[in-house]
Amino acid sequence: MSGENLVFISPSDPPRAWEAAFRGLAPEIGFTVSRGDFAEGTHADWAVVWKPPPGALARLSGLKCVFSLGAGVDHVLGDPQFPAVPLARVVDPYLTAGMSEYVVLHVLAHHRGLFRNLARQAEGHWSPFAAKRADDTRVGILGLGEMGLDAARKLKPFGYQIAGWSQTRKDEPVVESFAGTGELGAFLARTDILVCLLPLTPATRGIINSSTLALLPESASVINAARGGHVIESDLIAALDDGHIAGVTLDVFQTEPLPPDSPFWSHPKVAITPHMASLTDPRSTAITMVESMARIRAGGRPLYEVELTRGY
Ligand code: OXD
């Protein structure tokens, strides 16, 4: 393994923290921070990436695996020149826990009218909001992978009625499982607070649109902590403006950073966070990546390998 090197490309993850994590675990692997502007044939054994420039990975030679710095891999698979090497995504207890914290925080905020209350406070209005009972409140989670299931389990103690929608049915006691396009309508019709945690794939792009929003009950709320591409933004604004949707939390957007002229910034029913629902922890995630490298050297596959045709 001596002489191996790793290239790290990310416009947003802290390179020094990642370098320190790899130096501590695998000091023999060279660590290079790059913008991805490689000369053709640059040697790299490993690439650890978030939004690498299209075509950058294809210029590397000797690549054994690409590691996404996030749970999602759409930022890599959008590259038409993605090389024929294994791709691994992040599955990590701290990333999962961070997402569940965010989901619990915002489900509670919508259920208890927090954003409405803060707006009344800003106007100097004393205007109590009577929240429904939690056990009369139906939360629906789009995407029942690692994160969706963890969020469901952490929401359950509050008493919510929890359902989830996924491609295949899940056998999990805390959620009522809906599966496949045939059951999407029934899932939406019983959902007061919709949480999107889906991977972004051709099948899920634009899944939150005027037709699906119309299937939610009157005054439903929407929380998107997955990808901006899941939402047709103009449809969401229209559903907020006509009063069908009562409130929204958005962590992700079609264009990031969110452009200054986006109507979301100043919309009274929208809470915005800057793609920070959950951040990948270098110390714990590097352990999994180093373990995957050992498996590949031994002729195996990386942990949490992405099925390229499925996109997650
Ligand atoms: C992720 C993300 O994919 O941070 O993990 O968006």
Q: Which of 278, 284, 304 most suits a substitution to test ligand 1, by most atoms within 8 Å of the C-beta?
A: 278
CA–CA distance, 157 with 76 (Å, rounded to integer): 37
CATH fold of 5-92+280-297: Rossmann fold (3.40.50)
Q: Give me the residues of the chain with pLDDT under 50, please.
A: none
Closest atom of ligand 1 relative to the 95 alpha carbon: 5
CA–CA distance, 285 with 144 (Å, rounded to integer): 21
pTM of the model: 0.96
Output the pLDDT for position 1.
52
CATH fold of 93-272: Rossmann fold (3.40.50)
Output the pLDDT for position 2.
59
- Are domains 5-92+280-297 and 93-272 of this chain identical in fold? yes
Closest C-alpha to ligand 1, atom 5: 70
What are the extents of the domains in the chain?
5-92+280-297, 93-272
Ligand 1 center to 125 CA (angstroms): 38
What does DSSP assign to residue 208?
B
Output the pLDDT for position 232.
98
Catalytic member of 59, 110, 138, 275: 275
CA–CA distance, 153 with 251 (Å, rounded to integer): 21
CA–CA distance, 111 with 104 (Å, rounded to integer): 10
Q: pLDDT by residue (tens digit) across 184-204? A: 999 999 999 999 999 999 999
